[in-house]
A and B are shown apart, each in its own frame.
Chain A
Amino acid sequence: NAGVMQNPRHLVRRRGQEARLRCSPMKGHSHVYWYRQLPEEGLKFMVYLQKENIIDESGMPKERFSAEFPKEGPSILRIQQVVRGDSAAYFCASSPGWDYNEQFFGPGTRLTVL
Chain B
Amino acid sequence: DAKTTQPPSMDCAEGRAANLPCNHSTISGNEYVYWYRQIHSQGPQYIIHGLKNNETNEMASLIITEDRKSSTLILPHATLRDTAVYYCIVVSSGSARQLTFGSGTQLTVLP
Binding site for B on A (CB under 8 A): 4, 33, 35, 41-45, 48, 55-56, 58-59, 89, 91, 93, 95, 98-108
Q: A42-B87, A42-B101, A44-B101 are in contact. Are A98 and B96 (CB under 8 A)?
A: yes
A59:B43 contact, CB within 8 angstroms: no
Say yes or no for B25: interface residue by CB 8 A criterion: no
Residues of B within 8 A of A45 (CB): 98-100
> How far does the Cβ of B82 sit from chain A's closest Cβ, in whole Å?
17
Q: Contact at B98–A58, with CB atoms within 8 Å?
A: yes
Neighbouring A residues of B81 by C-beta, 8 Å: none
Residue pair B97, A43 in contact (C-beta under 8 Å): no
Q: Which residue in chain B gives the minimum CB-CB distance to A95?
A: B97
Pick the contact of B44 from A55, A99, A105 — CB < 8 Å? A105
Q: How far is the CA of A21 from the CA of B101 in the complex (A)?
A: 21
Query: Interface residues of B toward A: which range?
Result: 10 to 19
If A42-B87, A98-B96, A101-B49 touch, whether A93 touches B101 (CB-CB below 8 Å) is no
Chain B residues in 8 Å Cβ range of A35: 99, 101
Question: What's the minimum C-beta distance from B100 to chain A, rounded to whole angstroms?
Answer: 6
Asked whether B43 lies within 8 Å of A91 as measured between CB atoms, the reply is yes
A65 CA to B14 CA, complexed, in Å: 44
A-B contact pairs, 30 of them (CB 8 A): A35-B99, A35-B101, A41-B103, A42-B103, A43-B38, A43-B44, A43-B101, A45-B98, A45-B99, A45-B100, A48-B96, A48-B98, A59-B98, A89-B41, A91-B43, A91-B44, A93-B43, A93-B44, A95-B97, A98-B96, A98-B97, A99-B94, A99-B97, A100-B97, A101-B46, A102-B46, A103-B97, A104-B46, A105-B43, A106-B43
CA distance A45 to B42 in the complex (A): 16
Cβ-defined contact, A55 with B96, below 8 A: yes
User: Roughly how many angstroms separate A100 CA and B97 CA in the complex, as a whole number?
Assistant: 9
Beyond known contacts A4-B43, A100-B97: 16 more, CB 8 A cutoff: A33-B98, A33-B99, A35-B99, A42-B87, A43-B44, A44-B101, A48-B96, A58-B98, A89-B41, A91-B43, A93-B44, A99-B94, A101-B46, A104-B46, A105-B44, A108-B41
